[in-house]
Structure 1
C-alpha cells in the first residue's frame, strides 16, 4: 500500500471539519432562541439557565473525554462523542417546553464535552513540536468558522422550514462525519497503514519520548497530573477567556435585537462577522506562536507573549462594546475583540501540551478545559440576572472585560517553565 508523507494534514482536515460542525451545533440554539422564546414565552433568566445547562455536562465531560482519550485513544472517543452529540442535537427539535429543552441541552453538552480536548490529544500525537501551535490554530479555527456559518445556516433554515429543522439537518451532518472519521483515522501515526516511516520520524523529532499508543503508555495517577501548578493556573486563566467567549456566544445575538433593535435576519448576518475575524485570529495565532518560537528558540515565551498581549486587548474591547451607542460601532468593536480573543486560544492548548508528557495530554487538557468551561455555567446565567435586575447590558460587558484582564495577568505572573518542557533551541 502506498504510504503518504503528509497524512497528518488529512487528520487535521478532519479535525477542522469536526470543529465547524461542533460550533454550528453549539451556536444554533442562540440563533434559534428568538423563535423558541416566542413559542415558549421564556424570561431572560430562563434563557440564561438553558444556555448554562449545556455546560453542566460539557465541563464534566471535557475532563472525562480527555482521560478516555489517554486511556483508549482519541479515534474511538471522537467517534462516540460526535455520534452522541449529533443525535442529541436532533433531539432538540423534539423539545416542547422549558424543562425538556433544559434537559436535552444538558445532555447535548455531555456529547460535545470531549471534542476540543480529544482533538488537542490528536494534534499532540500527530504533529511535531515545531508545527504544533499552527496545527492547533488550524484545528480550532473551525470553531469560529462554524460560529460564523451558524447565523446564516440556522437563521435561513429557521425562517424557511422552522427552527426544529435546523437541528435535524445538523444532526445528519455530524453522523456523516463520525462514519468518515472512523474509516479514515487512527489514534497514532504508527497505527495507520498510509503513514510513512519518514513522517513518523518527523513527528517524533525533538520529543523526549516517541508517540505511544494508549496500550503502551504508562499509567500516572490522575491527581498527580491535574494538581501541577501549570495545569491549574492555565485552567483558571482559560476560565476567564471562556467567560468572554460564552458571554459573546449566548448573549450577543439577543443584545443586538433587544438593545440595538435590529431584526432577526440582519442579526443572523451581523453575528457572523466576529466569527469570521475570529477564524483568521485562530490561524494567525498558531502561526505567530510558531514563528516567535522559531526566531527566539524560547518555547514558553512564544506562548505567553501572544496570550497575554492579545487577551488584554480583547478584554478592553469587550468592556468598551457595552458603552458604544451606535450599532455599527458595537459590531466593529466586538469583532476586534473576538479577533484578538481567538489569537489567544492556540497558546492555551500549546501551554498544556508543553506542561506534561504526551501520554498525559488528554487528562491534563481535559481538566484544564473542564475547569475553564465552568464559565459556561456562570456566564449565561449571571448575564441574564444582570440584565433582568439592571435593565441594561453594560454591566455584563464590563464584567466580561474585567475577567479577561484577570486571565491575562494570571498567565503573565504565575505560568513558569514546566519541568517537562524541552530545552530551548538556538535562534534561527
Structure 2
C-alpha cells in the first residue's frame, strides 16, 4: 500500500495568493492618502497624478525583466528579493519628503512588485498539473486581485483611522516582512526541494506536466518567446482586458459621483459591486477552463474561453452608453467586469501553454502588456472625459478594444504544434493504488 498523497502544493498556492493580496493592497494604499501626502510634502494634484503613474512604469519594465530572472534563479529567490525591496520602500514612503522622493519610491515599488505574477506563474507550472492550473491561477490572478480591491479600501481606511496615514504604510510594510519570513521557511521552487511532499504527490504533479516543464534547465532563450505567435495574441487580449480593468479601477468612483451626483458613502457602496462580481467570474473561469481541459486535453480551448469572455465583457458595456442610468450603469459595469474576470487567471495558464520551458519569461511578457494598459487607460480616459465632458466615448473605446482582443484570441492562434498537444503522461499512483 503506497503512502497517501500530501497536499503541499495547496500550501504553496496559499502563500502565493496571500502575496498577491498584500501586493495589491500595497500598490493601491497611496490613493487613500492624497490629502495628507500633498499637504505634508507640498506637492500638487498634478504631481500626484505623475506619482500614481510612476508605479505602472516601474511595474511594466520590471515585470518583463523579472521573467528571465524567475526562470534563471527560481521563483523563491526572486520573490524574496522583490518582497524585501517593496517592504522597505513601503516603510520609507511616509518619509520620502518630496515629489522626487515619492516618484522614485513608486517606481521602486513597481519594480519590487513586478516579479509577482511571473514568479507565481512559474510556481504554478512547477507545482501543479495542467488539470489544476485553471482554478489555481484564477485564485491568484482573479479572486486575489478582485478580492484585494474589494477589501483594500476598508482595510486601509481603518488602518489610517487607527494608526494615522504614516502608521498605515508601516503596518503594510510589516505584513511584507511577515510574508518574507513565512516564505523563507515554507516556499520552495519545486516539489522535489520540499521535504514534506510525498512521492504520491510528486507523481501526481508530474503526470500532468509537459516534458519541458520537468526537464527545463533554466537557460534563457529570448527568440522562441519573442517570436511566439500565441504569446503575442495573449498580450493583445490581455491589453484589451487591462484597459477595461484599469479604466474602472481608476475612474469608476469619479464616474459614479460625477454622472449621478453620489456622495462618498454611496460611491463606495456602489463601487463594491463590480469587484464582487469579479470574484465570482474568476472562480467560474478557473473551474470552466480546468473542466474543459480535462475533457479535451487541448490548451487551445483556453484561448477560446478567454476570447468569448472578452467579447461578452465588451458587449455588456454597450447599455451604459446607449441607455444610461444609475441602475443600468451599476448592473452592466458589474456584468462587464465580472465576465472579464472569467479570464483573470487563464492568461497565466495560456502563457505557460505558449512557452512551457520558460513560464516566467512568458508570464513577464504577458504581464508587461497588462501593465502597459495600466499606463494608457487612466490617461486615455482622463483625456476623453476632459475633452468631451462625458465618459461615453471611453466606454465605447473599451468595447472596441474588447472586440479586437476577442477576435485575436478566437481567430488568430496557431492551430498546430507543441502548445496544442496534451502533456506526456506519467503514471499517477493515486489513480492505480491498490489497498
TM-score scaled by length of structure 2 = 0.88
> Which moved further from structure 2: 155-164 or 347-356?
155-164
Could you tell me which runs of 5 or more consecutive residues in structure 2 were left unpaired when the two chains were aligned.
424-435
Matches within 5 A, 1:370-385: 370-385=368-383
When residues 51 and 418 of structure 1 are mapped into structure 2, their CA distance, relative to the original with a 3 A threshold, is farther
The Cα offsets for residues 5-30 of structure 1, whole Å up to 9 and x where unpaired, read as 11101001111111111221223234
Larger radius of gyration: 2
Q: Secondary structure at the match of 1:415?
A: coil
8 Å CA contact 2:300–2:420 kept in 1: the answer is no
Q: 1:328 to 1:96 in 2, by over 3 A?
A: farther
Cα offset for 1:388?
Answer: 2.5
- Determine if contact 2:43/2:98 at 8 Å carries over to the other structure: no
Partner of 1:332: 331
CA drift at 1:278: 0.9
Give the drift of 1:352.
Answer: 1.2
- Structure 2 SS opposite 1:374: helix
Contact residue 321 and residue 396 of structure 2 kept, 8 A? yes
Structure 1 position 260, deviation (Å): 3.2
Distance 1:104 1:97, change over 3 A: same
- 2:180 matched to 1:203? no
Match of 1:310 in 2: 309
State the shift of 1:88 in Å: 2.1
Question: In 2, distance between residues paired with 1:349 and 1:171?
Answer: 27
Aligned length: 419
Contact 1:304 1:411 in 2 (8 A): yes
Alpha-carbon distance in 1 for matches of 2:311, 2:35 = 32
- Go from structure 1 to structure 2 and tell me whether the alpha carbon gap of 1:106 and 1:328 turns closer, same or farther (over 3 Å shift): farther
Which stretch of the first structure deviates more once superposed, 188-197 or 93-102? Answer: 93-102
Q: Distance in 1 between matches of 2:214 and 2:72?
A: 11
- Could you tell me how far apart the structure 2 residues matched to 1:300 and 1:223 are? 22
Report the CA distance between 1:365 and its aligned residue.
Answer: 1.5
> Which 10-residue stretch deviates more, 139-148 or 122-131?
139-148
String of CA shifts for 1:224-269, please: whole Å, max 9, x gaps. 3222111122112211111111111122223333443333344344
For 2:43 and 2:264, the matched residues in 1 are separated by 17
State which drifts further: 89-98 or 65-74.
Answer: 89-98
1:219 equivalenced with 2:219 (yes/no)? yes
Return the alpha-carbon distance in structure 1 between the equivalents of residues 152 and 203 of structure 2.
40
Name the CA shift for 1:291/1:344 in 2 (closer, same or farther; >3 Å).
Answer: same
The residue aligned with 1:62 is: 63
Superposition deviation, residue 85 in structure 1: 1.8
Residues 94 and 401 of structure 1: is their aligned pair in 2 closer, same or farther, counting only changes over 3 Å? farther
Distance 1:109 1:182, change over 3 A: same
The answer (yes or no) to whether the contact 2:304–2:409 under 8 Å persists in 1 is: no
Distance (whole Å) between structure 2 residues aligned to residue 400 and residue 100 of structure 1: 34
For 1:126, the equivalent position in structure 2 comes to 127
Distance 1:246 1:95 in 2: 26
Name which of 404, 417, 420 aligns with 2:418: 420
Counterparts in 2 of 1:3 and 1:290: CA distance versus 1, 3 Å: closer
Query: Which residue matches 1:176?
Result: 178
Residue 343 of structure 2 corresponds to: 344
Q: How big is the shift at 1:97?
A: 5.3
User: CA–CA distance in 2 between the matches of 1:115 and 1:220?
Assistant: 19
CA 1:80/1:260 → structure 2, altered by over 3 Å: closer, same or farther? farther
Mapped partners of 1:254, 1:376: distance in 2: 17
Structure 1: give runs of 5+ residues left out of the alignment: none
How much has 1:79 moved relative to structure 2? 1.3
Query: Larger deviation: 316-325 or 78-87?
Result: 316-325
Deviation at 1:46, TM superposition (A): 4.9
Judged with a 3 Å threshold, the aligned counterparts in structure 2 of structure 1 residues 89 and 386 are, in CA distance, closer, same or farther, namely farther
Q: Give the secondary structure class of the aligned counterpart of 1:351.
A: helix
Partner of residue 400, structure 1: 398
